[in-house]
Structure 1
């Protein structure tokens, strides 16, 4: 009785049902997954079947294509034989056949048999003048090939019709379907004819066909290659040319004889199609060659998938049995888990009832906790968005003030912010909000902030995705405008209209003026600091009461009474020295001299002031880098010797150059060690098919983009091209010194795909691997 009461209490609180449903729900997951796996089993089996059969078809394709390449090469050799040309020319001139020349030609033909192929083949050289048929072993006249004589017989076509077909039109590397042919050994064999008319060059109107080369390729090897497919009962494999003419086949065709046994339309170069022919389902697996030939196999679906269906039935029965057993176990476990919680729930209820008059439960506390978590998540998201804006503002400020030491440092910062800059033209602007001269109240500050938000929105709408913004001062916004320009200039068409649109829309919302100072465009974003300085000078030249609110920087704005050494230029010089960038340093020094001695032509007194500022920069650099320097302490000219010429600063400039060269040397030493380590690693691991930017970057703890840039900078060669060169150079040695097949060599040098290996080899060496090996063998024989 007591036990029954306990169970009743458990069910009253739904604890047993909750546990049981939870366990059953968990059990349903593997059940559903099992059903899904079973349904995916057929697809996986089809994919495996497709890959296995495609591998055989690709192997068949590669073997046959290699034979065709060999055949065409030898055909061109026959057609270009000097003896053949002399024989035809002398006969046409004298009407007499040169027997000695004919024998020499026959003797030379023996070298053009397809020795490298397992196909039992022979060939015939048909000539109209003289009327001869030459083989590698014999010479025949046309009248020797008749139905009465068995030198050459072909099923389905008479000798006369065959000759007419050869000489009636021009054949350009044409194949004919397999036929049984009786040749000189008086044995009937299934052969695939290949015909090429002479001359081989494209024939023009009125050019006479002088003959033809006919190769007869044994079909047995073709069929043995297709036999490797292990076709099931009812299966059919075939090889068809580019005109869908079936050359040879294995098995019985399921295609109807009506309609010319038409083949289906193949989708792509290779793949698997599901077809239904006369009530029977088939899988059609196919691949195509560069010549347009099709290598395909029809596989009846029922015998192919029967083992999979049987496995599905067994696995489903096993899953259902396991489910029933698991539900029984789940009910027992649910009962045992629910019992100890009964007392706990009763105690919780007693506590809640005693602590509050109303209904209270732990769910309320849980709801409060969830709300707090949501609130914290929203707050964190807001902080992240604010941090992103801060980071972008930091980027803009560093660009505008020239704070990046080098292009690599800037690129790393852009990668950190996930920003990509593809533009090649940049200009800095400063927009000033007129009417907010005093911000002495909270309302005025709020009004200023709202105004900036509106102005930023107008800027982004006008230049979507092409602008960086930063708040320069309380009433100013600085921006960097970017564009992709073609070669020949860096300018913006229609920029005035766009800026006037921003000013017009802004003034419609706020009855104030928006004044814009615009610097000169730059081709490098690292030069934007100079454009920003110009924009500020342009803005400072604006006077209230003028009608023009867009001020472009011009030479007229330069004040000759003031020397030029803004903080941005000082930062550029300091960064160039610290980075060991001699080119950037020279650019900065050239800018300093140009601005002061050519544009402003500063006085002797101004030159002395400039000297002291530059010398202060030098002292700060020397003190901060004292541990990295050695001997950078040449004499500095006294004040009395300072003139108004740039030469007076040359000794000081030399100190900058000395420090930069020392730091550059240390950087080059580090770069040399790094590139030696990378190239050594590539030489050791080039046989790994997975070798790439990701693997090497992870090995040396650098980013992929920096690795690509650094490798190109140090070696002058692309990273991928370097790996290809390593692999192909080793492949060349293997082709010279071993008898390994092309597939094996490709795998030994790091290629999983033979086609990719052949393509890269031909791109670098100008020949295919088989052609290279053949040419090398011939050179060795000579």
Structure 2
């Protein structure tokens, strides 16, 4: 490729150049500042809504637990035969007061169940006798009503309410009967729990302060308001200062909710509403928050961004003035160099865009050269490339292209470049593009290929396992050859290796195809390795095969190591007739390869297995003896670097460094020399959970231990277990244990 440069004769005054350049820069600073402000604004609003939704759902789940406990208490009461019998008795029945005394004792036994409920008291109202029964009281309803200072003019309404089915399972405000009482009455008919009649009603006095405490995670002091209705839209209770638009909340269920969220305007005020429905009693909770509260939290960021923008503008104006007046000439020279660099950069980007994806090219190269060390890595690459089809076998077609005289220009340029530059320029040349286009036409897309050398193409192909031969390949290659010759004057020859059912053995087919193509000629443009006459006195042990053997042994891959020795045996003892001197030379080269691997092991790591290898290396050489040595070396390296051991090492590293807030997948990748994607896959396969969940579990276990066994301050606890954000720690702790760290410690101190 020849780089050309256009030289402009038009002169522009340097002051104008600088003013235009820095004016654009100042505009960009302003645009970036506004963009970052808008992004931050959206994030704050979204995070605020998510945090409110999380607190609301957590609290409602706790409320549902209390309702279930109240229901369980009702079940326990109806199963008590004494209480059932008492409910059916009148005040004049024989032994009524004796039964009441026994019933009071039974009710007292239920007191522990109610200590954790958000109630002030509970009692059973028995309309047959007109009495109420609680753990601490047995009296007439009239006396109970007067004792609690409730208005006598509403006494009839009170009695009707207790037996009215429409008033059951609701929060009924006691302020209707005593204006100073903020609590609620919650009625459950015990008759609904039995097949036979039990005319009694379980009544709970719900403590308003306890209910408010349930929602303590939500700050109602800043204008938030909780409005609760049943599934029929009837008001139950609310928390927070009633807003001026509270009369309009009767229609809150008719708003247009999207994902249980809506922004609605009441008069001149916009309110964000979050809706959550209980899974236990279908009550609907509405959390309302003025949008102005969210906007006020942006003041700090708005001021920061304004300061940044103004600072950037001031600095830009100073630079504009200084450089325009004092550095015009150096800028002209710098501009000329910059334009030249930009031109070359654009040319290079154009070259890179035409290359095959680097990752795929690298994987195909490593497969064909036998550089994939472990079965796990091969499985991962196979899934990445999409080569997961079963019932197929893989083989390599090796193609060499010979260009005509019009391509000499490329050859002349390449003589001035090193090997890597030659490969890049070759990859983007018009000849390369034509060859790739023609390969895609005849052999499908995507192409699994790489360039071993310039104008050489190694193509990975597949065919069904039950196919004995591929006559269609010869026809495809002939059509490909003819089209390349007729359209582009490019002569091509090819060679194919033997197929393998396992993708990891493709290196054999690659070396065979490379050997076969060297036999191709004008009269026979495509050779199959099986058709070659190899009855010669030249042994087969190329450098690529030696490199693959070293890689497989060093990775402890016994399966591929044995496959290489089978391949060496077949190539040198079955397909060739080697003389004794040539055979000894082959054995000596294999010996040298194994010795090279052996001496990468330090004296400190030497064990009985390696001592046995040293002894065998000094004995009489034979192919079987060398294969045994390779097997022993594989066993040694397998024990040192097995997948299970790698996972164990990763787990140990996490346990030792979980307090480091910067611990992440990227850091583990650097520590263990594995790609992030493969390390994540390996960890999930070995432990059954992904890295982030595993790390969170370790940190939460340590956090719980510190809460229970130490006096560490809860406000800084998150730093002790590797978090750099207190809110993230609190959410994770509550999600894991169902309560906050403060609640755990408070329970311990009680």
TM-score norm. by structure 1 comes to 0.62
What residue in structure 1 maps to residue 436 of structure 2? 456
Unaligned runs of 5+ in 1: 1-12, 346-361, 484-488, 643-647, 762-767
Tell me the CA shift for residue 404 of structure 1: 4.0
What residue in structure 1 maps to residue 159 of structure 2? 159
Tell me the CA shift for residue 606 of structure 1: 8.2
Give the alignment partner of residue 229 of structure 1, picking from 208, 211, 220: 220
Alignment partner of 2:437: what SS?
helix
Q: 1:219 to 1:616 in 2, by over 3 A?
A: same
1:720 aligns with 2:692: yes
Tell me the CA shift for residue 469 of structure 1: 1.5
Q: Which of 1 and 2 has higher RCO (CA within 8 Å, sep 6+)? A: 2
What residue in structure 2 maps to residue 655 of structure 1? 629
> Hey, what's the Cα distance between the residues in 1 that align with 2:129 and 2:624?
90
Tell me the CA shift for residue 86 of structure 1: 7.2
TM-score norm. by structure 2 comes to 0.64
What residue in structure 2 maps to residue 424 of structure 1? 388
Tell me the CA shift for residue 560 of structure 1: 12
Q: C-alpha offsets along residues 43-85 of structure 1, whole Å, 9 cap, x if unaligned?
A: 9679768867986786566456434424423542552469526
Tell me the CA shift for residue 191 of structure 1: 3.2
Tell me the CA shift for residue 526 of structure 1: 2.3
Q: 1:396 to 1:737 in 2, by over 3 A?
A: closer
> Hey, what's the Cα distance between the residues in 1 that align with 2:297 and 2:550?
75
Q: Is the 8 A contact 1:428 1:481 kept in 2?
A: yes
Tell me the CA shift for residue 105 of structure 1: 2.3
Give the alignment partner of residue 73 of structure 1, picking from 69, 76, 79: 69
What residue in structure 2 maps to residue 575 of structure 1? 551
Tell me the CA shift for residue 619 of structure 1: 0.9
Pairwise mapping of residues 48-59 of structure 1 onto structure 2 (< 5 A)? none
Alignment partner of 1:216: what SS?
strand
Q: 1:628 to 1:478 in 2, by over 3 A?
A: closer
1:218 aligns with 2:213: no
Tell me the CA shift for residue 312 of structure 1: 9.5
Q: C-alpha offsets along residues 281-337 of structure 1, whole Å, 9 cap, x if unaligned?
A: 323253647647434224375x99799999999x999x99x999x99x999x78x97
Q: C-alpha offsets along residues 507-529 of structure 1, whole Å, 9 cap, x if unaligned?
A: 67767999895854645x42322
Moved more, 53-62 or 70-79: 53-62
Alignment partner of 2:367: what SS?
helix
Q: 1:254 to 1:88 in 2, by over 3 A?
A: same
> Hey, what's the Cα distance between the residues in 2 that align with 1:312 and 1:571?
61
What residue in structure 1 maps to residue 9 of structure 2? none
What residue in structure 1 maps to residue 507 of structure 2? 529
Q: Is the 8 A contact 1:274 1:283 kept in 2?
A: yes
Unaligned runs of 5+ in 2: 1-11, 411-425, 602-609
Q: Is the 8 A contact 1:176 1:192 kept in 2?
A: yes
Q: Is the 8 A contact 1:70 1:114 kept in 2?
A: no
> Hey, what's the Cα distance between the residues in 1 that align with 2:73 and 2:257?
36
Tell me the CA shift for residue 633 of structure 1: 3.7
Q: Is the 8 A contact 1:393 1:469 kept in 2?
A: yes
1:479 aligns with 2:447: no
What residue in structure 2 maps to residue 757 of structure 1? 733
1:135 aligns with 2:134: yes
Moved more, 604-613 or 81-90: 604-613
Give the alignment partner of residue 733 of structure 1, picking from 693, 705, 716: 705
Q: Is the 8 A contact 2:496 2:513 kept in 1?
A: yes
Alignment partner of 1:456: what SS?
helix
Give the alignment partner of residue 597 of structure 2, picking from 609, 619, 625: 625
Tell me the CA shift for residue 106 of structure 1: 0.7
Alignment partner of 1:122: what SS?
strand
Q: Is the 8 A contact 1:20 1:330 kept in 2?
A: no
> Hey, what's the Cα distance between the residues in 2 that align with 1:53 and 1:391?
41
1:282 aligns with 2:258: no
Alignment partner of 1:402: what SS?
coil
> Hey, what's the Cα distance between the residues in 1 that align with 2:198 and 2:520?
87
Pairwise mapping of residues 197-212 of structure 1 onto structure 2 (< 5 A)? none
Give the alignment partner of residue 183 of structure 2, picking from 172, 180, 191: 191
> Hey, what's the Cα distance between the residues in 2 that align with 1:316 and 1:27?
14
Alignment partner of 2:506: what SS?
helix
> Hey, what's the Cα distance between the residues in 1 that align with 2:192 and 2:720?
39
Alignment partner of 2:728: what SS?
coil
Q: C-alpha offsets along residues 570-624 of structure 1, whole Å, 9 cap, x if unaligned?
A: 654332223333454345557778x79xxx9969988999975873453122342
What residue in structure 2 maps to residue 5 of structure 1? none
Alignment partner of 2:236: what SS?
strand
Tell me the CA shift for residue 756 of structure 1: 4.0
Q: Is the 8 A contact 1:393 1:470 kept in 2?
A: yes
Moved more, 584-593 or 23-32: 23-32
What residue in structure 2 maps to residue 113 of structure 1? 114
Tell me the CA shift for residue 468 of structure 1: 1.5
Q: Is the 8 A contact 1:239 1:248 kept in 2?
A: yes
Q: How many residues of Structure 1 are paired with residues of Structure 2 in the alignment?
A: 680
What residue in structure 1 maps to residue 655 of structure 2? 683
Moved more, 86-95 or 190-199: 86-95
1:123 aligns with 2:122: yes
> Hey, what's the Cα distance between the residues in 2 that align with 1:28 and 1:306?
27
1:380 aligns with 2:348: yes
Tell me the CA shift for residue 402 of structure 1: 1.8
- Aligned-residue RMSD, C-alpha: 6.9
Tell me the CA shift for residue 659 of structure 1: 2.8
> Hey, what's the Cα distance between the residues in 2 that align with 1:199 and 1:743?
50
What residue in structure 2 maps to residue 251 of structure 1? 242
